[in-house]
Structures are given as structure tokens and as C-alpha cells.
Amino acid sequence: MESDERLLALLRADEFVSGEAIAEALGITRAAVAKRVGELRKRGFAIAAAPRRGYRLDAVPDALTGDVVAPQLTTAWLGRAWRHFARVESTNDEAGAWARAGAPAGAVVVADEQTRGRGRLGRRWHSPPGASLYFSVVLRPPLPPHRVPPLTLAAGVAVAEALVQFDAAPALKWPNDVQLDGKKVAGILTEMSADLDRVHHVVIGIGVNLNVLAFPDELAAIATSLALVVGAPVARAEFAAALCARLEHWYDRFVADGAAPVVAAWKQHARFLGRRVQVSAGRERMEGVAEDLDDDGALKLRLDDGRTLRVVAGELTLGPGPASR
């Protein structure tokens, strides 16, 4: 536990704790305790001090640091190793580097700001400072590489369920978009390092627009945030802890029982299933009815000539014509 975490754990007693007791527990002087309390206050912790009674923690800041998030975690393993950065190029890059250096499964990297946040298909991910969640988790699934793709769907279900806990009604758009009111609120970027038959690690990167109140012109029509939809600011640490819990649940379920339960849960939140859609995959463009997902999470697209195509990756938009069912 880092040192502020130990001090905060002592202060979390909900009542005054004497400077002397803290000093003894941490093996430091009372003057050092006073100095550390001052540093915590500068970080936004509200700590009351009363003569002869000591210190009491009254409020914690909306920060994504480990010492703020850890007490809110309910997980067994996901998020128990935690790195927070004020600013990074991409949390997926940091998580990948940490994974190569031996990060345990479930290690999480978060940042307040990304300067080169990445989306799928080479796109940028809008990552303004302080407003949202930029989150990447290292996973080490005991599976062959070809069985990993439904993990992205598991992450989608986890994000959707976390959003539900914050009073929103999310919809999932295949393969990895999360929407509120028809606009994108979150995206998932899964990256894998593997040999032909063995996964080294997977990094699932999740961006959730939490407290963004205005988007750049090019995104305004297609993006939204949780705060805009529910009409109130969202505590980022609380959301991060909720996301960790749902992610751990769905990852464990996927590894234990395979993709079918994940796909079934995903379909409960699905948007566009049964609708006429266009799918672009690389240079190919197809149109048909998005009939279903198969048990591996691939899209079953029924073409107008009656054939059914299995699409494993692509970009889906609502098609122009009427749905044929």
C-alpha cells in the first residue's frame, strides 16, 4: 500500500483520530503527520483538525488515484494493481508496456487526460482533461488467441451494466460501441499480444464520456456523455469502481463458461438487431438485416439474396431501406 493509502485508511474511521495514534501507526513524527495531512488537503481531501482530538476525513476529491478508488473497489482481483497518470499519450500504451514488464492480470491504468487517445480503425479518441474515464486493463486469459474476441463484447456488457447503475439506459452497437440516446458514450479498444497458439496478454481500453458537457463540432451530433444524459455530474472514481466490478464478473464468466452467456447478455442491450444495416469491413460494404450474433459474437448478416454472412469485424450503420422483419 502506498503511504497516503495507509494514512487515509487510518483517517477513514469516520471519527477523529489523534495525531499521536497516526504517528505511531505509521512510524513517523506528529509533525510529519501534520505535513502529510497538509499535502492531502492540497490534493482536495477535506480533513478536519481539532485540538486534542486529532484529524477526521470529511470528503475525498473526485480523483482517479489508487488511494481514492481502492476503498470503493469490491473486486477480488481486477483493479487491485492500479496506476494513475495525470496525462499520457494513451492508457492502452501504458498498460501494454506494464503488461510486458510483468503486470498482474487485472492491472489497471487510468489517466485524467490522453494526448493521443486511440479508437478503432485508426481513429482518435477525444480525451479532454479531468472530465472522463480513460481506462485500460491488462488481462491474461488462459485461452487460445482465436477465442479472445468475445472479450470485447464482455467489456461492452460491463460498461452497459455500470451505466445502468448510474441511472442510464444504454444500448450496445456491434461490435464495441456503447450508446445513450442514440449517441456514442463509450468505446472499447481491445489489443492482444499473442503467439499463434498462446496469448501473452490482452489490453482492453475503455473510454467513457462521463462529465463532458460540450463536444467539438465534428462529434457534437454523434457523441454524448453520461452527465449530459442524466443531468448531473458523475463521480469518476465511483464509476471506475463499478466498471471494475462488472468487468471482473463478465471476464470470470467468459473464462468459466465461454462466450454464450456473454453474447446472451450483450443481446439484451443490443441495438440494431433485426434491423436493416450497412456493414463496412475493410474495403467491403455489405447491406442486409443484422439477424443475430452467433455464440462467438460474430454478426449474422442476412443478405437480400437470402444468403447469411458471418461478419467477425466491421463497422455497422443503420441502413436506408425498411427492415425486412
Binding segment toward ligand BTN, per CB under 6 A, in 3-11, 63-71, 129-137, 245-253: 129-137
> By CB under 6 A, is residue 211 in contact with ligand BTN?
no
Termini Cα distance of the chain: 56
Q: Which residue has the cell 439474396?
A: 305
Q: Containing H/E element for 163?
A: helix 150-165
DSSP-derived secondary structure for 119-130: -GGG-B----TT
Q: Which is nearer to ligand BTN, 57 or 95 (CB)?
A: 95
Cross-strand pairs, 192: 202
> By CB under 6 A, is residue 45 in contact with ligand BTN?
no
* Footprint on residues 49-108 left by ligand BTN (CB under 6 A): 90-92
Q: Which residue has the cell 463521480?
A: 235
CB 140 within 8 A of CB 202: yes
* Footprint on residues 172-201 left by ligand BTN (CB under 6 A): 176-177, 187-189
Among 82, 125, 166, 272, the residue binding ligand BTN under the rule CB under 6 A is: 125
CB 57 within 8 A of CB 12: yes
Least distance to ligand BTN, CB of residue 281, Å: 15
Least distance to ligand BTN, CB of residue 316, Å: 12
Q: Which of 3, 36, 2 is nearest to 19 (CA)?
A: 36
Q: Which is nearer to ligand BTN, 157 or 189 (CB)?
A: 189
Phi-psi region of 95 (alpha: psi -120 to 50; beta: other; left: phi over 0): alpha
Q: Which is nearer to ligand BTN, 115 or 324 (CB)?
A: 115
Among 61, 119, 128, 145, the residue binding ligand BTN under the rule CB under 6 A is: 119
Which spans of this chain sit near ligand BTN (rule: CB under 6 A)? 90-92, 114, 117-120, 123, 125, 134-136, 176-177, 187-189, 205-207
